[in-house]
Chain A
Amino acid sequence: MKASDFNYVCPSSVEEATSLLALHGDGAKVIAGGQSLVPALNLRLLAPEILIDIGRIGTLRYISVADGMVRIGALARHVDLLNSQEIAEHVPLLAEAITYVAHPAIRNRGTIGGNLAHADPASELPACMMALDAVMVISGPSGERRVAASEFFLGIYETALAPDELLIGLEIPVTAAGSRFYFHEFSRRNGDFAIAGLAAQANVRDGTVESLRLAYFAIGGRPTLAAHAAAKVARQPIGPAVIADAQSALAEDLEPHDDQQASSAMRLHLAKVLLERCMSDLVQDQEMKRKALQ
């Protein structure tokens, strides 16, 4: 199908973009890479009066590392993250996760800002932001504000962004030396959205896990930190009993939904499978590393 008619403006600064948003109100839609928006336009799920193309605001396209913080501009594309030495070195979880996002032609256009602002519950990246304790940097008529990832994703396609605000970037603490990550998802085909997935970050010491953040995605309406399950394994020697305990706790953390891809029971089952694989991966890897060093 073809999109319905709309006007188009291409501001050259964040200030210009936010005042255009304020001016046009509900009738306006921001376009960045267009990889989620244009499908919705072509399918006529959306019919805005005007598109505000932020794609040429050069100041929003950067990846930098300083003072223990990785800073990423909203317009950094998926492929920029994939090819970034800084991301590979300082945020390995994100470097791994990005390989699961869509297909090459889409990664060449799609931006991290657009992905996070879109807040698809099946997307890998919002969950990574939760696992990494990232902060979203937002610009609006009254200036800049910062919102923690755990308070940014509110529901299906719903975020803490007000209609006249732009997500301009994000800040991720540099992954501490010695900390470990796990990432996996179940999907029908490479590059498809997940049926259930897990992004996790932890410190592992002597076979026990500390400060574990388990961020599930594609389970329920938004990415979810499984705090109960994480508490069950924290500072415990990891074994079958502890893992089983944590798996049972997942029922308190998650609200799996039903759709044509999977039932809620299947999603909860997959969440448990992911947890078991995550725990053995986190500790085993560590064991192997230690043995290799001896």
Chain B
Amino acid sequence: MIAPVSITLMVNDEHVNAHVSPRTHLADFLRDHLGLTGTHLGCEHGVCGACTVRLDGDIVRGCLVLAVQADGAVVETIEGLSDSGEIADLQEAFRNRNALQCGYCTPGMLIAVQELLRQQSNPSRETIREHLSGNYCRCTGYHAIVDAVEATVRARNGANA
């Protein structure tokens, strides 16, 4: 048996102390230890993007970061982004445009979109597609997702104008 390692981190603005086995990846830690099941697991080898979370402000694959590597870090999940209202308009646009069907990819998709919109105020459809190239959706065919992102861009720019 491998001894668990003690870690301390911030998750959605809350202090967390825990003991984890080194092999536990961050997505499993969030889901199984903290009950934050909005972070999904599809492939567990970095291809699908369902496990996307924010680590120290940057989006990462939750399945490709070990929980022990997140010691001392700030983690934000879809629960945190939802509760703070940061992406409320984006979530509304996803609903309005039918940008989700089964919803499995949606948490990862929303977090990835929000990173793009924080970096660029007026991305083209092509840039949106490229930024989301690492997030699989098997229902929508992506078109509606790009529509929802564009609608959010327009609304945010309009609100700022």
- Please give the residue numbers on chain A whose beta carbons come within 8 Å of chain B beta carbons, in ascending order: 1-8, 10, 31, 34-35, 38-39, 41-43, 51, 53, 55, 79, 102-106, 108-109, 189-191
- Contact between chains at A34 and B65 (CB < 8 Å): yes
A55 to B64, CA, bound (A): 14
CA distance A79 to B59 in the complex (A): 11
Asked if A8 contacts B68 (CB within 8 A), the reply is yes
* Nearest B residue (CB) for A39: B45
Q: Are the CB atoms of B134 and A104 closer together than 8 Å? A: yes
Q: Is the CB of A38 within 8 A of B134?
A: no
Q: What band does the interface of chain B fall in when counting residues whose beta carbon is under 8 Å from A? A: 20 to 34
The answer, among A6, A43, A55, A103, for a CB contact under 8 Å with B49, is A103
Known contacts A105-B112, A106-B46, A191-B134; A55 and B61 CB within 8 A of each other: no
**Bound state CA distance, A4 and B135, in angstroms?**
26
Say yes or no: B21 contacts A190, CB within 8 Å.
Answer: no
Contact A38 B64 (CB under 8 A): yes
**21 sampled A-B residue pairs with Cβ under 8 A:** A1-B44, A2-B28, A5-B21, A6-B2, A6-B23, A34-B65, A38-B25, A38-B46, A38-B64, A39-B46, A39-B64, A42-B63, A51-B22, A103-B49, A104-B112, A105-B61, A106-B134, A108-B60, A109-B61, A109-B64, A190-B133
| Across-interface contacts of A106 in B (CB, < 8 A) | 46, 61, 64, 134
Beta-carbon contact of B112 and A38 below 8 Å: no
CB distance from B122 to the nearest CB of A (A): 18
Contacts of B69 in A (CB 8 A): 31, 34, 53, 55
Q: A103-B133, A191-B133 are in contact. Are A108 and B59 (CB under 8 A)?
A: yes
Q: Is there contact, CB below 8 Å, between B63 and A38? A: yes
* B131 on the A face (CB < 8 A): yes
Given known contacts A34-B64, A38-B66, A8 and B133 CB-to-CB distance under 8 angstroms:
no
Is A35 a contact of B46 with CB atoms below 8 Å?
Answer: yes
A103–B134 alpha-carbon span in the complex (Å)? 5
Tell me the chain B residues, 46-76 only, with Cβ under 8 Å from chain A.
46, 49, 52, 55, 58-61, 63-66, 68-69
In the complex the two chains form, is B64's CB within 8 Å of A35's CB? yes
Complex Cα spacing A248 to B129, Å: 38
- The reply to whether the CB of B130 lies closer than 8 angstroms to some CB of chain A is yes
A60 CB, nearest partner CB in chain B, Å = 15
B1: chain A residues at CB < 8 Å are 5
Expressed in whole angstroms, the Cα–Cα distance for A7 and B4 within the complex equals 9
- Complex Cα distance, B6 from A10, in Å, reads 13
Report yes or no: A108 in contact with B44, Cβ–Cβ below 8 A. no
Chain B proximity of A37: nearest CB distance (Å): 9
Task: Tell me the bound Cα distance from A143 to B57 in angstroms.
Answer: 37
Query: Least Cβ distance of B14 to chain A in Å?
Result: 23
Chain B, residues 1-29, CB within 8 Å of chain A (1/0): the string is 11001000000000000000111010010
Q: Which residues of A contact B45 (CB under 8 A)?
A: 38-39, 42-43
